[in-house]
Homo-oligomer: A and B are copies of this chain.
Amino acid sequence: MTRVRIDLFASLDGYTSAGQAPDNPMGADWGRLTTAYAATRTFHERVLGDTSGAGTTGVDDSYVAAHFEGIGAEIMGAAMFGLHTFPDDPDWKGWWGDQPPFGTPVYVLTHTAPRPSLPMPGGTTFHFRSTAIEDVLAEATEAAGGLDVRVGGGVSTARDFLRAGLVDHLHLMIAPILLGRGTRLWDDLRGLDLTHKVTTEVAESGTIHVTFTR
């Protein structure tokens, strides 16, 4: 059965990101939040294309590998695609390069006029949708063909799905740092420990992995 999955990064004090700016869309603290993620072998292989065997292979890597497994369709916000970043460039195809790493249909949520779908090398096709998230999720679920649907981000898109009660599996990768600023994770998750089962595990890096599953 298709599950709706989200992975988020957070700090120990519950911030998911901070310091975003037009020239730094992930935010100034992104590097500190994702240090353990970027150190894993799976990240090296799947994101950097580095097949040298570099990267950690412990608890962090097992969660990161799971993140990439069993996904049949992806949903992301317009900002994560980069839809409006270069509005005057008709050839702009988002942040994800000539061969995006998804290899599945990717549904990009947008409030602007419909655009034609954008097939890319490597099996990724971007679809642009301005309907309700429940409708987009229904379409993505059908496209996933029994595999899972991942809500990739950004944080505000993830929060929309969480608030709507649409998420079956939330994985938090909590870095043992205090940011003291940014978007608060927990405000939107009140009660999630009552509807979902919570698990906790610490990696060799000190990163705390928390999952909420129903």
Q: Which residue of B lies closest to A177 (CB)?
A: B193
Q: Does A143 sit at the interface, judged by CB under 8 A?
A: no
Given A176-B200, A191-B178, A200-B176, A14–B208 Cβ distance below 8 Å?
A: no
Bound complex: CA A202 to CA B209 (Å): 10
Number of copies: 2
What DSSP secondary structure best describes chain A's contact surface? Answer: loop
Q: How large is the interface on A (under 10, 10 to 19, 20 to 34, 35 or more residues)?
A: 20 to 34
Question: Which residues from 3 to 54 on chain A have a C-beta closer than 8 Å to any C-beta of chain B?
Answer: 12-14
Q: Which residue of B lies closest to A14 (CB)?
A: B14
Q: Distance in Å from the Cβ of A202 to the closest Cβ of chain B?
A: 5
A190 partner, pick from B176, B178, B189, B193, beta carbons under 8 A:
B178
Q: Does A99 sit at the interface, judged by CB under 8 A?
A: no
A178 partner, pick from B177, B178, B186, beta carbons under 8 A:
B186
Q: Which residues of B contact A117 (CB under 8 A)?
A: none
Contact A189 B13 (CB under 8 A): yes
A-B contact sample (20 more), CB < 8 A, given A13-B14, A13-B190, A176-B210 = A12-B186, A12-B193, A12-B210, A13-B189, A14-B186, A176-B193, A176-B198, A176-B199, A177-B193, A177-B198, A178-B186, A178-B189, A178-B191, A180-B190, A198-B206, A200-B202, A200-B207, A200-B208, A201-B202, A202-B202
List residues of A whose CB falls within 8 A of some B CB. 12-14, 176-178, 180, 186, 189-193, 198-202, 206-208, 210
